[in-house]
Structure 1
Amino acid sequence: INVLQTMIESISTLTPKDKDILRMSWAIVSKDLETLATGIFEMIFEQAPDAKLMFPFMMKDHRSGENKEKRSTEFTFHALRFIQVIESVMQCIDSPDGLEPLFRNLGQIHGRHQEQLGFRPHYWSVFKECTLYHFRKAMRGDKRRYCIRASTKAKMTPSEIDSAIILWREVLRVMIDRMNAGLEANNIIRKANREVIDHDDATHLHPTPRDAKHHIDVVNRRHELSVVVPDFFIRRASDEISLEGVDISSRRSS
């Protein structure tokens, strides 16, 4: 709860001017989400090549035209999923508490990826830096907006771009912190589940004294019943059948 409160306060304390800068920068960088997303995704794989192991389509041979097109489609799909998370943050920038379920779910997903596909938490830092690089690139534009001789006036001044990058770094940090919290919570649950399973297996393989005493009691009870019940029928009965309701004296008298 304290971590969630910190997240809410971190984004909620953004001033109206901060939010204006974020919205202005987002309006620029989101003009072509597909180009932005694939650029970030490609850079992530350049900086962390081992991350490709998490995406089977990156490990296949795509030399033929049909397969190459399929890879391009899958690549774009996954890249857009990255950027859509940031888009959700911008949509909830005035009510950040609504983001918690999203980040918790993403953390749980990456927790499973950590166990099954080799996800490493430092990939998030790579994602953050690659995102900031492409955000700055988009804000500066193709004509290098810092150039005094630029033919068109920049929509954002250099100082506004710097401010935007500082703000985006904080937003991405909060996102990563919340996803990592979800990942850690998922790991704790999975660890607890494994311990329960391991304990049950160990109990089955190594009976406790209580289990041994129960077994002796059952054997003695069966021996007592064997006076009137043939062993053949006793052996057919399960060791787990309760014999408390049997009236031995009445059966002997019969």
Structure 2
Amino acid sequence: MAPAAISWYCFTQEEKNDLEHSWNLVEGKKNHIACDIYEMIFNQCPEARRLFPKLKFVGSKPDRKNNEFAFQAMRFMQVIEGAVKALDHLTSLDVILDNLGRRHGKLEVNGKFRSYYWSVFLECSIYCLRHAFSKRMNDKEVDHVIILWRYLLRDVMKKIKAGTTADIAHRMHQMSIDDSRKYSLPAIQHKESNASSAGTDFDDIL
């Protein structure tokens, strides 16, 4: 199934330049920013911890020295970095983000992931980026670029969420097909035939 047709925000060349400039100012701190984002996510949404059973926590805070924590934080940061590096060809990210979303479909079906987590991820990312920018830019500049970052990350989240929704729909469709096959007459007849050939009482199988 093709990725959902969600349009990217159309940035002007000046806006692209501003996004790239702001990223260049903080790129050297991206590992630290990534960990800040994930720590804030866990503080704002403690239930999200169950998505990462291997993470270690010291009290209510994640152990930032834990390799699993750093790995997960950087994976998320790579998505953010990939978006700002692809400003001239954002549609090239569609398949990647769609696949990323589909990998979360199973987690949501199993009750481990909630769709509102994407909003939490977005707001925590914006907050931590604003904090990082404020150390290198004046308030007016920060206010300007953070609006652009919100447009960019909002669309990234929409693309991922669309992939998750598509995967869930596919799984539910497959489940309905499996249920139909399970209770269809041909399936029952096949089961009766197997039971007879095995010399087993059919009633013992049900």
TM-score normalised by structure 2 residue count: 0.82
Selected match of 2:178 from 187, 193, 197? 197
Give the CA deviation at 1:29: 2.4
Look up the match of 2:151. Answer: 170
**Contact between 1:25 and 1:164, CA under 8 Å: does it hold in 2?**
yes
**Contact between 1:21 and 1:160, CA under 8 Å: does it hold in 2?**
no
Q: What letter matches 2:5 in structure 1?
A: L
Identity of aligned residues (%): 33
> Which runs of structure 1 show a deviation greater than 4 angstroms over 4 or more consecutive aligned residues?
60-63, 204-207, 235-238
Whole-angstrom distance in 2 between the partners of 1:86 and 1:137 = 16
If you compute each CA radius of gyration, which structure gives the higher value, 1 or 2?
1
Selected match of 1:160 from 141, 154, 161? 141
Whole-angstrom distance in 1 between the partners of 2:7 and 2:107 = 26
Quick check: 1:35 aligned with 2:29?
A: no
Selected match of 2:78 from 78, 81, 84? 84
Give the CA deviation at 1:236: 6.7
Whole-angstrom distance in 2 between the partners of 1:2 and 1:163 = 31
Look up the match of 1:56. Answer: 53
Distance 1:37 1:192, change over 3 A: same
Distance 1:138 1:200, change over 3 A: same
Whole-angstrom distance in 2 between the partners of 1:87 and 1:94 = 14
Whole-angstrom distance in 2 between the partners of 1:114 and 1:236 = 42
**Partner secondary structure for residue 7 of structure 2:** helix
**Contact between 1:38 and 1:76, CA under 8 Å: does it hold in 2?**
yes
Q: Report the count of equivalent residues.
A: 192
Look up the match of 1:6. Answer: 7
Selected match of 1:103 from 82, 97, 101? 97
Whole-angstrom distance in 1 between the partners of 2:187 and 2:28 = 64
Whole-angstrom distance in 1 between the partners of 2:177 and 2:80 = 38
Q: What letter matches 2:166 in structure 1?
A: A
**Partner secondary structure for residue 87 of structure 2:** coil
Whole-angstrom distance in 1 between the partners of 2:198 and 2:187 = 23
**Partner secondary structure for residue 73 of structure 2:** helix
Give the CA deviation at 1:158: 2.1
**Contact between 1:4 and 1:100, CA under 8 Å: does it hold in 2?**
no
**Contact between 2:118 and 2:161, CA under 8 Å: does it hold in 1?**
no
Give the CA deviation at 1:50: 0.3
**Partner secondary structure for residue 57 of structure 1:** coil
**Contact between 2:15 and 2:148, CA under 8 Å: does it hold in 1?**
yes
Structure 1: runs of 5 or more not aligned = 142-154, 216-234, 239-254
Selected match of 2:21 from 24, 28, 36? 24
Look up the match of 2:203. Answer: none
**Partner secondary structure for residue 56 of structure 1:** coil
Give the CA deviation at 1:86: 0.7
Whole-angstrom distance in 1 between the partners of 2:125 and 2:22 = 13
Give the CA deviation at 1:176: 1.0
Distance 1:28 1:201, change over 3 A: same
Quick check: 1:180 aligned with 2:141?
A: no
TM-score normalised by structure 1 residue count: 0.68
